[in-house]
Structure 1
Amino acid sequence: MKTLLNLIWLVLAGFWLAVGYAVAGIICCVLIVTIPFGIASFRIAGYTLWPFGRTVVDKPGAGAGALLGNIIWIIFAGWWLALGHLTTGIALCLTIIGIPLGVANFKLIPVSLLPLGKEIVPSNQPFATR
């Protein structure tokens, strides 16, 4: 079932979201100071390609740098991205077929709002719930 949902997601929304996050990552990596944001954008791009069967957990050892980076991210990009995922998720949930895709958009809100200090892991692994 996860594979089928991921394929539907990829065709209808995931590919374009991943391209957008990858372009943002390339732009961020051009400037030396914003490379951590670029790496986070690439991580989110991979997650948006295949979101079903994976989850986001806190990365052990993420400290003050991740907190400061997340504050900067929220100010400049995070709240826009979260609002976009929320709006798209609500719109997708208006149809029965779109509900799983809307839920996938809702899953992207936390990582698009606070991407630094996070790790994307398979859902069926025991360490996925830490």
Structure 2
Amino acid sequence: MRLLLNIIWLVLAGFWMALAYVLAGIICCVLIVTIPFGIASFRIANYALWPFGRTIVDHSGTASVVGNVVWLVFAGWWLALGHLVTGIALCVTIIGIPLGLANFKLIPVSLVPLGKEIVPAP
């Protein structure tokens, strides 16, 4: 079931959202100071491509809280808005409801990506 959901997700939402994360990561890596944000963005892009069967574990510390505030102001709210709009559009159909819920699950990660680890779901 996870494989089927991931394939449908990839076609309907995953590719476009992952592309947005990659674009944010490239912009962050061009600016030398924000390379940690770029790495986090690439990590979340990988998760946005294939989310079912994996989950996020929080390992936040003081430095990641400060970095997450900066990320939220410059890129996080744009990505969260993309997940919100895509999630609402997917929830219009019955088949798209699990995919829309997955989009809503990615909103907190898009807002504060630093200090997060992607692990296989139990």
TM normalised by structure 2 equals: 0.93
RMSD: 1.2
For 2:93 and 2:67, the matched residues in 1 are separated by 37
Match of 2:11 in 1: 11
Q: CA deviation at 1:91?
A: 1.9
Q: Distance in 2 between matches of 1:71 and 1:42?
A: 18
Query: How far 1:105 sits from its partner (Å)?
Result: 0.5
Residue 77 in 1 paired to residue 75 in 2?
yes
- Structure 2 residue aligned with 1:115: 113
The 8 Å contact of residues 17 and 82 in structure 2, kept in 1 or not, is answered as no
State percent identity of aligned pairs.
77
Q: Structure 2: give runs of 5+ residues left out of the alignment.
A: none
After TM superposition, what 4+ stretches of structure 1 lie above 4 angstroms from structure 2? Answer: none
CA distance in 1: counterparts of 2:18 and 2:79, whole angstroms: 13
What residue ranges of structure 1 are gaps of 5+ in the alignment? 125-130
TM-score, normalised relative to structure 1: 0.88
Size of the aligned set, in residue pairs, is: 122
Do the aligned partners of residues 15 and 84 (structure 1) sit closer, same or farther apart at CA in structure 2, a change above 3 Å counting? closer
Deviation at 1:78, TM superposition (A): 1.4
